[in-house]
Amino acid sequence: MNRRRLLGAGLAALLGPAAARAQMPAYAWDDGSVPFVVTPMEVVARMLQLADVGPGDTVIDLGSGDGRIVIEAARRGARALGIELDKSLVAAAEDNARAAGLAERARFEAMDLFAADLSAATVITLYLLPELNARLRPRLLALTPGTRIVSHDAGLGDWPFDERLELRVPDKPVGVGFSRVELWVVPARVAGIWNLELPEHGGRWTLRIAQRYQLLEVEVAATGGRDFVVPGVRLRGAQLALVTNGIVGRRAWRNVFSGTVEGGRITGELLASDGNESRSFAFTAVR
């Protein structure tokens, strides 16, 4: 017997009895599968805006339904692919893409999203249920740093989002007229001990980085410096920014490191200022 059950969060948590009558109900089936429920067009637009989708992007919508996210991404100049289990929805989505004159850039494949190759994606879009997202999380986290993931109404387990929108959507077909859209940017892996040489400013610097997703804890030391504190650190994809204040050459400096992480190397610029004088240095840190 194919019984439905109400899940505790995401799509399902937003449902009221009226909504369940109004449209295809957004319950998970007992086997955990996700039914077809559309993202309202205004929410589609905000998802693509939050992920900054444009020409040059490759967007993959996992569970693409009638194809609306894929078609709107193609309308913004991206190449877009929808992965959908239900063949009849794939056929409908292909018709919709043709009708929009976007069939060349908006393509669809009938398959299980867990079997899809996601490696070409610069943006992944999701409107699934929390438990499915949680199963996807390790694969999403392993994508190229900088890949954006945008999800409607369901999080990615304990991976904290980078940005969130909360929207009133009065004509949403399920729930109570409210949508949540969240963005994650796949972080580079930066955990470890990094060294860089700046003979004119602090000598050998050491950064000890502990990482949980995009959240970092950093300790800073330099052979020619002391008393460093780290009031700010941010990792977005492969872009690392780190502020550390401390004494170098008997003067108190604010040191702002900005760099790009590529494997075991960070290259970028240090801007140092003591309030009277500013200095800038190119740096390369290695792990």
Ligand X SMILES: C[S@@+](CC[C@H](N)C(=O)[O-])C[C@H]1O[C@@H](n2cnc3c(N)ncnc32)[C@H](O)[C@@H]1O
Interface residues with ligand X (CB under 6 A)? Answer: 33-34, 36-39, 61, 63-65, 68-69, 83-86, 89, 112-113, 127-128
Token pair 């801007």: residue: 271
List, in sequence order, every residue forming a beta bridge with 266; answer none if it has no partner. Answer: 261, 285
Q: Specify the residue, 51 or 248, whose C-beta has the smaller distance to ligand X.
A: 51
Q: How many Cβ atoms are within 10 Å of 193's Cβ, its own excluded?
A: 12
- Smallest gap from Cβ 50 to ligand X, in A, equals 14
Q: Specify the residue, 38 or 271, whose C-beta has the smaller distance to ligand X.
A: 38
d(CA 150, CA 177): 20
d(CA 277, CA 274): 6
- Smallest gap from Cβ 8 to ligand X, in A, equals 17
Maximum Cα interatomic distance, the chain, rounded to a whole number of Å = 76
Q: Specify the residue, 66 or 162, whose C-beta has the smaller distance to ligand X.
A: 66
End-to-end CA distance of the chain: 56
Q: Specify the residue, 34 or 272, whose C-beta has the smaller distance to ligand X.
A: 34
- Smallest gap from Cβ 41 to ligand X, in A, equals 9
- Smallest gap from Cβ 137 to ligand X, in A, equals 15
d(CA 212, CA 197): 27
Q: Which two tokens stand for residue 242?
A: 């780190």
Q: Specify the residue, 153 or 162, whose C-beta has the smaller distance to ligand X.
A: 153
Q: Which secondary-structure segment (H or E) carries 152?
A: strand 148-152
Residue closest to ligand X, measured at CB: 63
- What is the DSSP code (8-state) at residue 44? H
- Smallest gap from Cβ 132 to ligand X, in A, equals 7
Token pair 């009221």: residue: 16
